[in-house]
Amino acid sequence: MTGTSIAEIECEKCKTVFETQVIEHIDLSEDREIIKALRIGKANRAQCPKCKKVMYLDRSIVVNFEPENRIVVYDPNATSQEAKESLQSEYDSIIAFNEILKEIGAETEFSIFTSLDDLKPLLDEYEKTHR
């Protein structure tokens, strides 16, 4: 299942502010069609309603590689060590919420990728394994 939200963005070309739907979370076991868009960096696409400019938003996406017990946060903007530590801290806070989440967290590999080149091999391998 793909989790989305509504975000307000500004067009790069005409500066019109508009709302668009953005992907926040993807469960690959339920939505394999999104792998191609992820692989080529076009998962969060927005089109300006005024000038029709197409933009690809650099936003954080949580990718759940079920049933492999792997969660990857793909965030092209989390290039600093501080940003990565913040994402890790958020994950740690979530799994510390209760005993069930602690158990799941202990069995789950958590990674943070800032480069699409690093994410692509995982997507390719997942697609081959779970066709």
pLDDT in tens, 50-78: 999 999 998 899 999 989 899 999 999 99
Work out how many domains the chain is built from and give that number: 1
Q: pLDDT-derived band of residue 1, with 50, 70 and 90 as boundaries?
A: low
Q: Residue 32 class from Cβ within 10 Å (0-12 exposed, 13-18 middle, 19+ buried)?
A: middle
Per-residue model confidence as pLDDT tens digits over 78-105: 999 999 999 999 999 888 888 888 888 8
Mean pLDDT to the nearest integer, 17-37 = 91
Q: How many Cβ atoms sit within 10 Å of the Cβ of residue 53? A: 14
Range of the domain at 47: 2-129
Distance CA 111, CA 87 (A): 10
Are the C-beta atoms of 71 and 33 separated by less than 8 Å? no
Enumerate the β-bridge partners of residue 56.
45
